[in-house]
Amino acid sequence: MSMGATPMALGLLFALAACTDASNTGPTDAELGSAAPARAYGIWVPSKTDTCSPDVHNRYATLGPDGKKYPTWHPPVDPISGCSFGHEHGRDPHGSALYDRVGDLAFGYANEQLDAANLGMQRHEDHVGHKIEWENGVRIRPGGGAGTAIEVTCDVLVKLHQGTHSRDAFTNNLHELNYHIRCNDRTEMHVTLLSAIGRPGEFQSSCGGTVQAGVATPSNAPSGGGHRRIPDANCLLSRLLVAPGRESDFGHLHESWETSNEIKSADGKRLAAFNPYFQVFRPSRYFDPAVPGVVGRPVTLCATTIGDLRARGRECDGLTSTVSGTLLSVEFDDVRSGFNGARRQVDINDNQISNAGGPAVWYTDPFGRNGRPTPFAGSIRQEIASINNDYGVGINGPVIGGDRNYAGVGTRAPN
């Protein structure tokens, strides 16, 4: 449904990002042209190696439920012009069995509603961190005693803003999450919120333990369940900097953002709970309080020697001159660096609903709280099946996306 570079093609290139229609026909050119831009729209600018213009990028747009214009998924390379954007947003959602139900996702919609909710805080995220994953026919064995008796099959479509190139997630725990699941046991949720992942101002080291990283913006962000597990210098350097003849252990250069989300009514009743884990392999950053900006770059360790120690292995071995064969020192945003965060996976875990007899549509604040049957300022429409699925808890996985690499021509950090 998405994208193109010519005006005549625009009518075929946009789709509506709302889960209100069973069939998604998308907005017209006139509707998009007259729509006010959301804060997330039009913020991407090309770097020195990107060949697409902002105008080409801005054609990948959709309307949010508030009628504003938002960015949405696009491929790493524009299929009409052949230009590259330098970043990717994960798996093309058009192949999802839920696409006709959900439509194109409006990147930044929950952040926009936080502005309107009058909660005394703002939280806007960069463009490149929006990552989509989906799978049709996922088999989930429920926890508790039911797990030995039945197996549930689900279609899943998720999107998390998971930037792994900047310092943002060191201190900021609020990240936009779209979560869509439909199963053959009547379990169904279509949820958008700002997921509070752990505590603001801190994260968990990849080696364990809490790292106090600074003050979050917004400073009054609520704490949430789960955590953001991110590599830091204390954990990483001793494993990457090795002597000749040895290979670096890149296993700890891995981020795992373990979310724990609830949708609650205004009286505090839990209507739904779900806790997918989002994992990234070979991100382009790690936390290092000893360097300016506290952002260390793994790729620089490939050419940085401390005595006879440096990072070694296939991630570094490819960074050699074709002329002399000597190791190259490249910037973190060089397309030759494999540290770009383009390999990811999502663990689909518990999906609990306690909404039997309740309305299938609720309106909550941007954090999934204060749910009511009617909209209010800054509210987000959430859809939750009117059922109870009392299977207990304890589902671990299944994993989706682990066998895919989303890097395309020109893809590099920041991504």
Cβ–Cβ under 8 Å, residues 124 and 43: no
Over residues 28-36, the mean pLDDT reads 84
Q: How far apart are CA 335 and CA 142, in angstroms?
A: 42
Q: Which of helix, strand or coil describes residue 137?
A: strand
What are the C-alpha distances in Å from 119 to residues 65, 172, 219, 222, 377? 20, 17, 12, 11, 10
Question: Would you kindly state where each structural domain of the chain is located, as residue ranges?
Answer: 7-400
CA atoms within 13 A on the CB side of 258: 15
What is the Cα gyration radius of the chain? 22
Q: How far apart are CA 94 and CA 80, in angstroms?
A: 18
Q: Report H helices in 99-163.
A: 99-102, 109-116
Q: How far apart are CA 327 and CA 415, in angstroms?
A: 24
Q: Please tell me the predicted confidence (pLDDT) of residue 140.
A: 86
Q: Please tell me the predicted confidence (pLDDT) of residue 13.
A: 34
Cβ–Cβ under 8 Å, residues 173 and 217: no
Cβ–Cβ under 8 Å, residues 319 and 337: yes
Q: Which residue has the tokens 């040895």?
A: 246
Q: Given a cut of 80, is residue 225 above it in pLDDT?
A: yes
Q: Which residues have a Cβ under 8 Å from the Cβ of 268 and sit 6 or more positions away?
A: none
Strand partners, 388: 354
Nearest to 258 by CA among 354, 352, 369, 177: 177
One DSSP character per residue, 272-296 reads EEE--EEEEES-S-EE-TTSGGGEE
The residue that leads in pLDDT, 19 or 238, is: 238
Strand partners, 77: 84
**Residue 28 confidence class, pLDDT cut points 50, 70, 90:** confident
Q: Kindly state the DSSP code that residue 333 receives in the 8-state scheme.
A: T
Residue 22 region by backbone torsions, left for phi larger than 0, else alpha for psi between -120 and 50, else beta: alpha
Q: Please tell me the predicted confidence (pLDDT) of residue 24.
A: 59
In 10 A of CB 237, how many CB atoms? Answer: 18
Burial of 313-344, coded b for 16+ CB within 10 Å and e otherwise, reads eebbeebeeeeeeebbebebbbbebbbbbbbb
- What's the full length of the chain, in residues? 415
pLDDT per residue over 365-413, tens digit each?
Answer: 999 999 999 999 999 999 999 999 876 555 666 999 999 999 999 999 9
Strand partners, 354: 388
Q: How far apart are CA 343 and CA 341, in angstroms?
A: 6
Q: What percent of the chain has pLDDT over 90?
A: 78
One DSSP character per residue, 228-242 reads EEE-BHHHHHHHHEE
Average pLDDT value over all residues in the chain:
89
